[in-house]
Homo-oligomer: A and B are copies of this chain.
Amino acid sequence: MDFIDELKNLKEQIKFNQKFNITSEYDNIVISGMGGSGIVGDIFQEKFSKKPVITVGDYGIPEFVNERTVFIGISYSGNTEETLNNVDEAMKKNAHVYAITSGGKLADRVKNSIIIPSGLQPRSALGYMLMPLFNTFDPVDDDIIKKTYDILDSMDKNHDEMRREALKIYENSYIPIIFGSRPFKSVAYRWKTQFNENSKTFAFYNYFPELNHNDTMPLKKAYRRDEYRYYVFNSDNLRIQRRIEITQEITGESFNIITAPTNEYFEKLFYLIHYADYLTYELALVREVDPTDVSTIEELKSKLS
């Protein structure tokens, strides 16, 4: 599949209807994943808080994990070293272990695995990996899925805005800084990683209101300020919206506000994700780098093994 076809596949992925059948009682949910698979747990954690949700992006699991824990390993390839290590540890502690993967060792090891289609770049399979979590713990209405589909479809057909923005970044060699806010802090991180992997550029992120306690100082007084370009997600939280305005006013910086055509959580989530898909893809094209190339990461994995 071409990379552009992978991007266009996202709207199909949100229809993925598999879910876990969790029959036991549990006290907490631990989700283990790295990179493009790890972001899935972070997105879910920001939305769902009826139980404590702990995400692990590392070797090793928390001490509290026990037979009252739902433990979910997510790895697109099914062969991510850190995640396999953690699934083994969780099994030893008698947690209820589940997995989301396209196959690999993870599918072999975890009986309760949801198998998703293979053949994509892991970062292009975000919808497949995320939907089982929503379907299981926090189902999304059909009409919202349908509206989201239409939003993504119209972005697939026309992403001139993202192409123009990519050109601006390219012409100025800007480094993007993305300022998210809840429930889309994890999406700011997703933007960063898409710039890293697709465009091969640095990118950084922070979020309101936390950045008002630190990044606000250099925004006004640092050197190299002109080399950055700031992206901020429009918020329907009035306190956050006010912070966005005042931060620009007192620092003199001007943010590019990304405004979704909707305030509904799920629709906005995928709009913001897809915006970065196209922005970082277009930036790769204009920089003449291959958006699918992650050879440096692959080289590292092979040297480690």
CA distance A35 to B35 in the complex (A): 25
**Closest chain B residue to A247 by CB distance?**
B300
Given contacts A34-B210, A57-B210, A175-B224, contact A216 B300 (CB under 8 A): yes
- A303 partner residues in chain B, CB cutoff 8 A: 246, 249-250
Could you say how many copies of this chain the assembly holds? 2
CA distance A217 to B199 in the complex (A): 9
Interface pick from A3-11, A14-22, A46-54, A151-159? A46-54
Best-buried of A38, A201, A219, A223 by chain B (most CB within 10 Å) = A223
- A216 partner residues in chain B, CB cutoff 8 A: 196, 296-297, 300
- A51 partner residues in chain B, CB cutoff 8 A: 64
| A143 is an interface residue with CB less than 8 A from chain B | no
Is A63 a contact of B49 with CB atoms below 8 Å? yes
Shortest distance between the CB of A214 and any CB in chain B (Å):
4
Interface pick from A99-107, A235-243, A255-263, A270-278? A235-243
Which of B64, B182, B207, B297 has a CB less than 8 Å from the CB of A52? B64
| A140 is an interface residue with CB less than 8 A from chain B | no
Q: Which 5 A-B pairs have the closest CB atoms?
A: A35-B213, A49-B62, A200-B221, A196-B214, A193-B214
Given contacts A58-B182, A182-B58, A250-B296, contact A35 B214 (CB under 8 A): yes
| A59 is an interface residue with CB less than 8 A from chain B | yes
Is B38 a contact of A224 with CB atoms below 8 Å? no
| A212 is an interface residue with CB less than 8 A from chain B | yes
Is A28 a contact of B57 with CB atoms below 8 Å? no
Is B242 a contact of A217 with CB atoms below 8 Å? no
- A50 partner residues in chain B, CB cutoff 8 A: 63-64
- A301 partner residues in chain B, CB cutoff 8 A: 212
| A251 is an interface residue with CB less than 8 A from chain B | yes
A-B residue pairs in contact (CB < 8 Å), sample of 23: A35-B210, A35-B214, A36-B213, A49-B62, A50-B63, A51-B64, A52-B52, A52-B54, A52-B62, A58-B209, A59-B237, A173-B223, A197-B217, A200-B222, A202-B222, A202-B225, A203-B218, A212-B300, A217-B294, A217-B297, A221-B296, A247-B300, A250-B300
